[in-house]
Amino acid sequence: MDLGTITGAAIVAADVATAARALLRPHREPASRLAWILAILALPIAGVVLYLLVGETRISGPRRMRGKEINARLPRPPGNYERGGEAGDAHWAPFALARTVNHLDATNGNRARLSADSNAAIDEMIADIDAARATVHGCFYIWLTDNNGLKLKDAFIRAAKRGVRVRLLADALGSRGLIRSEHWREMRESGCEVRVALPVGNPLWTVIRGRVDLRNHRKLMVVDDSIGWCGSQNCADPEFRIKPRYAPWVDIMSRWEGPVALHCQYLFVSDWIAEGGEDISGLLKEPLPPVTGSIIAQVLGTGPTAEFDAMPACFSELIHSAREELVITTPYFVPDEQLLFALTSAGRRGVRTLMLFPKRNDNWIVAASSRSYYKDLIDAGAQIYEFRPGLLHSKTMVVDGCTGLIGSANLDRRSFELNFENNILFEDQAFAAAVRARQDQYLADCDPVTREDVERYGLALRLWQNLLATLSPML
């Protein structure tokens, strides 16, 4: 048998083995399996390499085992609210499903407010840091060495110098500039405990044992176990100077007081220990912070270690609960089948469905993929709007003026499968009205996208958009 025959047989064997692996891959929708099998067959060598690099949500074995161990042994802060599954109580169904993700119960007696804008959010977070008495914990995806980034850095240093335990996590890729700078060393030398989330190290070894693009996308801060910050805001100026073409970044941040703050602490503690930090699980045994308001709230933390497709399932459940109105803002929209079905079903059953996206997107692949779904959504009765002034980066959902979701997760496959995200599911008419009012502010700066607009895209553009959408299950 000559060398060519042996090589051909080896390629065929590798294709068959990789295709079988794609078919047997758990927690994956059929469209994804089919897309990968077609890619492997069409590109016998490149398809196998691509699948091994990005075809699976792989975390290194030791990391996965450590994550399971931490998740199994960490105590959960108690909840203080329980509601029965009364027939027709559609708005409670998302809370029941969310509980299965982190095994965190719903909490009552919370108070929340929105910051006026990104700069105000940073200033208010700094005020909380300056008032901290015992602990300040922060986990950030992007942390830039710009005005807001350095203001936060200085606040953390001030807190550490007066004896507050400051523990900080920054994502290895999103915050790489800060981590490599003297500002990172300054925080460490001043008493802040700083750790890198999901370190990359040697890129080749990282690719072999896992995926480089599995990231900690959370935007989370907890002060003294009693104040929690959750939303879309990175540690950066709205001008976002690393991508100034798309500025300003338009974000939303929420400040929470009450029992839910200790539940936010759970996500930080699990991440901190997973990154080699000391065991601080004793913080989760502290008494719940006092009741300060009337908001029902539940923490929802997801990531590639989840046992099922938690984020799209919870989003879809919330959408299915809508009876009158559904309003969504997200910068990145690449839905899976269950999410797209939930959205089109909402429109078809008469729910007023408004979806707000940025007109100019920093990710051109996502932008094209998103627009491939416009016609289906519009045909189902949804109203599509595109935000003009900058990149609408706010991730919000409000249902029937009483229930909603706010946090770091986008409606795309990266947030669904590859990123660690943090969100808060809430029920309260007053806070829902505040988020809804912010959505209306965005809406005032939007252009509607009509069926006629979509029909004018042209054949070549529609082919391009649909091609990228077809390939999206491979991400």
Residue range 145-194, pLDDT digits in tens: 999 999 999 999 999 999 999 999 999 999 999 999 999 999 999 999 99
Give a yes or no: residue 130 inside a domain: yes
Please write the tens of the pLDDT for every residue from 315-340. 999 999 999 999 999 999 999 889 99
Q: How does residue 6 score in pLDDT terms, banded at 50, 70 and 90?
A: low
Nearest CA to 56 out of 85, 80, 25 is that of 25
> Are residues 203 and 156 part of one domain?
yes
Place of tokens 């009765």: 381
pLDDT value, residue 45: 72
CA 264 → CA 229, 232, 236, 436, 439, distances in Å? Answer: 8, 15, 22, 23, 24
Q: DSSP for 366-406, please give it.
A: HHHHHHTTHHHHHHTT-EEEEE-SSEE---EEEETTTEEEE
Q: pLDDT: is 311 or 36 the higher one? A: 311
> Are residues 118 and 50 part of one domain?
no
How many domains does the structure of the chain reveal?
A: 3
Amino acid sitting at position 377: L
> Are residues 218 and 144 part of one domain?
yes
Does the pLDDT value for residue 202 go beyond 70? no
What is the distance between the alpha carbons of residues 396 and 457, in angstroms, rounded to a whole number?
28
What is the distance between the alpha carbons of residues 214 and 196, in angstroms, rounded to a whole number?
14
The residue segments making up the domain with residue 195 are 61-92+111-293
Give a yes or no: residue 100 inside a domain: no
The model carries a pTM of: 0.89
Q: pLDDT: is 21 or 246 the higher one? A: 246
Q: How many CB atoms lie within 10 A of CB 86?
A: 7
163-172, 201-210, 285-294, 431-440: the lowest-pLDDT one: 201-210
Please write the tens of the pLDDT for every residue from 68-108. 788 888 999 999 998 865 555 888 999 999 999 999 999 99
Specify whether the backbone of 240 is left (phi greater than 0), alpha (psi in -120 to 50) or beta. Answer: left
pLDDT value, residue 213: 67
> Are residues 265 and 219 part of one domain?
yes
> What mean pLDDT value characterizes the chain?
89
Give a yes or no: residue 398 inside a domain: yes
Give a yes or no: residue 409 inside a domain: yes
194: part of which helix (H) or strand (E)? strand 193-197
pLDDT value, residue 459: 85
Specify whether the backbone of 71 is left (phi greater than 0), alpha (psi in -120 to 50) or beta. Answer: alpha
pLDDT value, residue 378: 97
pLDDT value, residue 163: 97
